């Protein structure tokens, strides 16, 4: 049995339709993915160039930073907790935290010393704090911790405030967070 193909205008329409379908399949199967891959690769290269430029700008500032560190004697004074052991450093952290809280108008409800953790040449000393104070006072405490001579980092923060419809901004919020500071691990070996 022989297949009879249409001829004339019907045949031309069929041939044109098959050509368009074949062209669409080639576009969707090969050309469009290649163009997408090319665009993705261009974006990746753009990001890599921007990162390289930013890093080269940072490298350019390195001599000035090294000179500043050398002028300070090699280490920023007070950047680490004092104390030859973890309990002494934790007590120093608690005392400093109490001073900052008092200066910020916050009364700390409870403090719990957490086990110290070794992190390279440093020991992470952490204290879990619970308090109730107005929002502005809590923010003032967090700012004071960030600007302290021994930087303290809050983590695992949980806040519980008054109902939304409370109009009094001085209502206390309950806050619970962990404060971490570092001390030199070599200090314990002395």
Average pLDDT (8-26) is 92
Question: Where are the chain's structural domains?
Answer: 9-73, 86-189
Considering the four listed CATH numbers 3.30.70.60, 3.50.50.60, 3.40.50.970, 3.30.830.10, the one that applies to the domain covering 86-189 is 3.30.70.60
Q: For 29-58, what is the HEC assignment?
A: HHHHHHHHHHHHHHHHHHHHHHHHHHHHHH
Average pLDDT (81-98) is 88
Residues with Cβ within 8 Å of residue 109, at least 6 apart in sequence: 130, 131, 132
Report the C-alpha gap between 129 and 112 in whole angstroms: 7
Q: Which residue has the higher pLDDT, 49 or 187?
A: 49
At residue 189 the predicted structure's pLDDT band, cuts being 50, 70 and 90, is very low
* Per-residue pLDDT tens digits for 59-85: 899 888 888 877 766 555 557 888 788
- Letter string b/e over residues 17-44, b meaning 16 or more CB atoms within 10 A of that residue's CB: eeeeeeeeeeeeeeeeeeeeeeeeeeee
Residue 65: its pLDDT value, please? 82
Residue 23: its pLDDT value, please? 93
Tokens for 163?
């109902």
Residue 167: its pLDDT value, please? 65
Residue 73: its pLDDT value, please? 61
Report the C-alpha gap between 33 and 41 in whole angstroms: 12
* Per-residue pLDDT tens digits for 131-184: 999 888 999 999 999 888 888 899 999 998 877 766 666 788 899 999 999 888
Q: ∠ CA 126-129-135 to the nearest 5 degrees?
A: 130
Residue 3: its pLDDT value, please? 79
Whole-number percent of the chain with pLDDT over 70: 90
At residue 121 the predicted structure's pLDDT band, cuts being 50, 70 and 90, is confident
* Per-residue pLDDT tens digits for 123-142: 899 999 999 998 889 999 99
């Amino acid at each position: 049995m022989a297949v009879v193909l249409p001829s004339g205008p019907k045949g031309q329409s069929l041939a044109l339709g098959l050509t368009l379908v074949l062209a669409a399949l080639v576009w969707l199967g090969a050309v469009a993915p290649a163009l997408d891959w090319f665009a993705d690769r261009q974006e990746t290269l753009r990001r890599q160039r921007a990162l390289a430029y930013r890093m080269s700008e940072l490298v350019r500032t390195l001599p000035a930073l090294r000179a500043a560190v050398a002028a300070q004697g090699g280490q920023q004074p007070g950047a680490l907790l004092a104390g030859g052991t973890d309990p002494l450093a934790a007590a120093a952290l608690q005392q400093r935290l109490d001073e900052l809280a008092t200066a910020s108008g916050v009364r700390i409800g409870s403090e719990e010393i957490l086990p110290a953790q070794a992190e390279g040449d440093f020991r992470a000393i952490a204290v879990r704090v619970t308090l109730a104070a107005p929002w502005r006072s809590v923010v003032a405490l967090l700012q004071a911790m960030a600007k302290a001579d021994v930087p303290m980092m809050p983590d695992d923060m949980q806040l519980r405030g008054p109902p939304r419809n409370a109009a009094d901004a001085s209502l206390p919020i309950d806050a619970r967070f962990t404060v971490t500071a570092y001390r030199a691990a070599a200090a314990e070996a002395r």
